[in-house]
Structure formats: C-alpha cells, structure tokens
Amino acid sequence: MRISTDTLSRQTYDELSSERALVPARHDSTDLVPQPERSAFFESREDSELEAQLRELLNALAQGQAVQRTPQRLVVTGVHAGREASFLAQNLALTCARNGYRVLLVDANFKSPSVHHSFGLANTFGLSNLLSSSDPPHSLPQATPVPNLAALTIGPQVRNWSSLLNREQLFHRIEPLAASFDYMLVDCGNLAPTLVGRVSAGADNVVVAVKEHVSSMRELAAVVELLRGEGVREPAVLMVE
C-alpha cells in the first residue's frame, strides 16, 4: 500500500484537517507493556519505506499542533478501503512502537478482524469479551513480537457485536489501561458509519482511509458528519493507493 501524504489534511474532503498532535512527548517511565524478544517482524525493504511514509504522516498531522493529552486516542477506518484501513492502523501502531512509544492496538473490525493473524496471537479472548461483560480490561491485552506494542484482539465471535458497539463506549471501557500507554489505536476497518461514530466517541483523532475512484464521497460525507456528532470535529482523510 502507498500513502499519498500530500492529499492529507488541508487538501482533503471539505478541507478537513487534524487539530491534534498524534505524537506525544516522550516519557521516561519504565512502566512498559510486557516485551517478548524482538523478532524479524516487518523488516523488509518495502516495510522500511512504508514506515518512513507513516512517520512523515505522523509528523504532518502533528505539525503546528499542540498535544492535548496522553495517551493519544486514535481511530482508523476506511470508506470502501477496509483492508487498507486495517493495514494502516497496524503499521501506524508498529511505527509508534518502534519509535519508543507504548502502544495498544485494538481490533474493532468485527467484519474482518486481522490483528490476531497479523501478530500471531491467540483469539480466545478479546474485545468481544470486554464489551459483553462488566469485567475490567487489564487481563485482555497481549504482548506482540514487537517491543512496546500490545494488542487487544477481536475475541470470540458474537452475534450481537453491532449492538455491543452501539451500546458501549469503547474508549471508556479501555480507559483503565490508559496509564500504561502513549497511544491507543483502534482499527475499525470498513465498519458502518454509525458504528465508527460510536467507536470514535472519546477519540482525539480519526483517520479515514479512502481510495481514489473507489470510495464514495457520499459515504465519506456521512462518516464525517457522524464523527463530528461524536465530537471529532475535523477527522483526517488519507488517500491510499
């Protein structure tokens, strides 16, 4: 996947731009997530080039912006670009973690979950357990092969997942984990706009991946309006190729 960073922010739909920094100030805290030994995960030349693009993306979003709070709460979704949105969310998480930030990646893409496959994690428990119970989330994140990166997988399949997402405020449910992370990134994939809006309640920023000549501007407008209704005033729209 290639990212057209020049289409970000000021040149996007309805002149959307991010108002919040995505790169928080570094902390000296040693209270990191559990770290397995580093592997050769995502080490190819192409991955290195993508990581450089994503670092440019984070810098572009943060340019001239003031950090509002830590951790940064970020949602990634797509308009007819669900696979690309998930790929983007996972690699944004990797980029942040490899630059020393403590990251929690949450898989909320109930239509096509992929975090557990991408990182070789068990999926016997996860987000579906959290949303369908009142239990605290502390036992649910799993360490990944990447230092500083933990993941909350989708968990066992449930029939009423859309009702759960509508009923529960995801960031409120994972708030007890906030002190352990610099970033909380949620992968929504290609969920319906109403569900993306609900998931984004409490988010600092939302990145919407779109594909030229594929994504519907009408659906993009619907996503933007729903996000604004949840308090995300200016989501960032990102063209992917």
Cα–Cα distance for residue pair 86/228, rounded to 1 Å: 22
Which residues contact residue 1 at a Cβ distance below 8 angstroms, ignoring those fewer than 6 apart? 50, 84, 87, 88, 240, 241
Per mean pLDDT, which range of 37-46, 48-57, 91-100 is the poorest? 37-46
- Regarding pTM above 0.85, the answer is no
* Residue 72: per-residue pLDDT: 86
Does residue 77 fall inside a structural domain?
Answer: yes
* Percent of the chain whose predicted confidence (pLDDT) is above 70: 76
**Minimal CA–CA distance to 16: which of 213, 241, 230, 205?**
205
> Given a cut of 50, is residue 1 above it in pLDDT?
yes
C-alpha torsion 18→239→54→101, nearest 10: 50
- The one-character DSSP state at 64 is T
DSSP one-letter string for 92-141: HHHHHHHTT--EEEEE--TTS--HHHHHT---SSSHHHHHTS---STT--
Please report which confidence band the pLDDT of residue 221 belongs to, taking 50, 70 and 90 as the band edges. Answer: confident
Asked if the structure places residue 201 within a domain, the reply is yes
52 Cβ neighbours under 8 A, 6+ residues apart: none
pLDDT in the model for residue 224: 85
Name the domain count of the chain. 1
Quick check: is 78 in a domain? yes
Residue 21 located in a structural domain: no
**183-210 tens-digit pLDDT:** 999 999 989 888 999 999 988 888 888 8
- The CATH number of the domain holding residue 109 is 3.40.50.300
* Structural domain range at position 224: 3-16+42-61+71-240
Residue 24 domain-assigned (yes or no): no
| pLDDT exceeds cutoff 80 at 58 | no
In this structure, of 102-106, 192-196, 229-233, the range with the lowest mean pLDDT score is: 229-233
Is 25 a member of any domain? Answer: no
* pLDDT above 90: residue 59: no
The answer to whether residue 23 sits within a structural domain is no
Is 160 within the bounds of a domain? yes
